[in-house]
Amino acid sequence: MENESRSIVILYGSETGSSQDLAENLARQAKRRHFKTRVYAMDDYDRSQLVEEKLVVFICSTAGQGDEPANMKNFWRFLLRKNLPNDILSDIDCAVVGLGDSSYRNFNYPSKKLYKRLLQLGANMLLERCDCDDQHYLGVDGAFIPWTAQFWNIVMDKYPTSKPILSEDGIDMKVIQNTRITAPDHFQDVRHIELASDQLAYQPGDIAVIMPQNLREEVDMFLDLMGWSEYADQLIRITPNEEAVLPWPEQLKFRDLFIHHLDIFGVPRRSFFEMLAYFTKDENLKERLREFSSPEGQEDMWNYSLRPRRTITEVLFDFQPLEIPLDYILDVFPQLKPRSFSIASSIKVHPGRMELCVAIVKYKTNLKRIRRGVMTKWLATLVPGDIIPGVVIMKGTMSLPPADTPLIAIGPGTGVAPMRSFIEERVAIGTKQNVLFFGCRYHDKDFYYQDQWNAYQNKGQLMLYTAFSRDQRGKVYVQDRILEQSSLLWDLIDQQGAKVVLSGSTGKMPDQVAYAFKQIFMKEGGLSAQESEAYFSLLVKRGQYQEECWS
């Protein structure tokens, strides 16, 4: 019989993003196994809900000399309260993953303390703590991948499902359209990307997981820098050793190893500098590299690498001459990691098609150099006819309510993507109780899908409220428009059971939107501040208020 409480919460403490990466990786695995999945930084999670959870995974890295990452410090202080009963977590299944570097004395100290404290509070630990080690030749994956296999064996026995696990293989999709939908003079390039496949199936709110590629011309420049150009078109064979846990093609061109598999334009981690120190004969360079990987050199490494977002290739340029033996390539360079995008279309409206709304990542650092995201830099180059291989469709954290339940959709910026999939689907089945709050900078520069929203509104299929933050002297945001519609929203939520869905970037926006709703509950419902908080928590708990935000 299928367990009715198949939900998982993944809480991470991350200093540089590594723990968040693992949390999102585990979340994708959970969604493939049909778990209702939520991911939060520990300090962003509503701690009052913890005792209500059934299955919680904690993932935390190590900061400084064994300290907790900044975004879990409040959560950790909460767990240390002396007045917490020693059985308060007795109904919760837990697991803990730690990230650290075994060359440090306090290796994975935060996760070890967390594991011990959870046991003291009565948590049911499903399996031993996972200790990911930067020193492993596969990095954190060396411990994380075999641990997740053990974790899912235990979890799937305890939380069975009759549904098949979704495949990781994905489908190949053809690019039909790749169009800029922001004004030419707008600072941000946002693309409407249309893809096609005759194997396509998805639901509103689903997510497309895509593996990025490095651009061939940039890879060729990298090969030239490393003195490897002569090998570019040679076929190589990869023979995994006994410890290998990552899948690799048996044979491929040397150039394709760097186009499709290895991350040479991401920001390096500490272990990368330690590894490089073995491959230079220059004693000054060797000393500097080892300093970056030492506990005492963390501030210098931050200023050199993390703060300016200096890439692996730029680091290699700075530390020439280097001689990395070909046998060590898979040890030195991390693997490319997939990225997730909310699907921005309904398959009922676009049969055989999937549409995305993607902001191309481009920014300047304090080095005054232009930075471009590995994934979106590649996506921006795609033209009709190109193929994107291995696209995986997964469940998102939001879902549609029944057709007779009103929908309140909030999607500032590219957060409007899943809202478009929801609203298209609802219009297609004849549901007219749809409300959309959309925010951007300028009406004439980044009002995504303006014509479509106006058409729906003219036909009585949508109530549209817009916030253009830079079109007037005082800035206006979606939370301001929400407050202006307090009477309407209170009636929809409290009297008609409307579902609220929110999508967009993390930061202040989700909290400010939540605060606006709590203000409405007090103003229109006559609730006290405490009652308003409880009412909001109830909406979240029963899935009437859902959000999907990203950093």
Query: Per the annotation, does 477 bind a ligand?
Result: yes
Residue 405, marked binder: no
Contact 311, 365 (CB under 8 A): no
Is 396 annotated as belonging to a binding site? Answer: no
340 is in an annotated binding site: yes
Give the span between the Cα atoms of 229 and 223, in whole angstroms.
5
Q: Is 179 marked within a binding site?
A: no
Are 440 and 429 within 8 A, CB to CB?
A: no
Residue 243 is which amino acid? E
DSSP collapsed to 3 states, 243-283? CCCCCCCCEEEHHHHHHHCECCCCCCCHHHHHHHHHHCCCH
- Say if residue 120 carries a ligand binding annotation: no
Q: Is 62 annotated as a binding residue?
A: yes
Q: Is 248 one of the annotated binding-site residues? A: no
Is 159 flagged in the annotation as binding?
no
**C-beta atoms surrounding 366 within 10 Å:** 9
Does 476 belong to an annotated binding site?
yes
Is 499 labelled a binding residue?
no
Quick check: 501 and 422 in contact, CB under 8 A?
yes
| Helices 416-428 & 450-458 angle (0-180, nearest 10) | 30
- 341 annotated among ligand-binding-site residues: yes
Spatial distance between the Cα atoms of 453 and 436, rounded to a whole number of angstroms? 9
Cα separation, 121 vs 528, in Å, equals 32
Ligand-binding site membership of 12 (annotated): no
Alpha carbon distances (Å) from 424 to 337, 352, 420, 427, 549? 31, 15, 6, 5, 21
Token pair recorded at residue 201: 């199936």
SS3 of the chain: helix, strand, coil, percent, to 5: 40, 20, 40
**Please, is 370 exposed, middle or buried when counting C-beta atoms within 10 Å of its C-beta (0-12, 13-18, 19+)?**
exposed
519 is in an annotated binding site: no
Contact 513, 479 (CB under 8 A): yes
Say if residue 309 carries a ligand binding annotation. yes
Q: Is 431 annotated as a binding residue?
A: no
91 is in an annotated binding site: no
Q: Is 258 annotated as a binding residue?
A: no
Is there a binding annotation on residue 313?
Answer: no
How many angstroms separate the CA atoms of 498 and 489, rounded?
A: 9
CB neighbour list of residue 256: distance below 8 Å, 6 or more residues apart: none
For the annotated binding site for NADP(+), the residues are 414, 469-470, 475-479
For the annotated binding site for FAD, the residues are 309, 339-342, 550
For the annotated binding site for FMN, the residues are 61-64, 134
For the annotated binding site, the residues are 61-64, 134, 309, 339-342, 414, 469-470, 475-479, 550
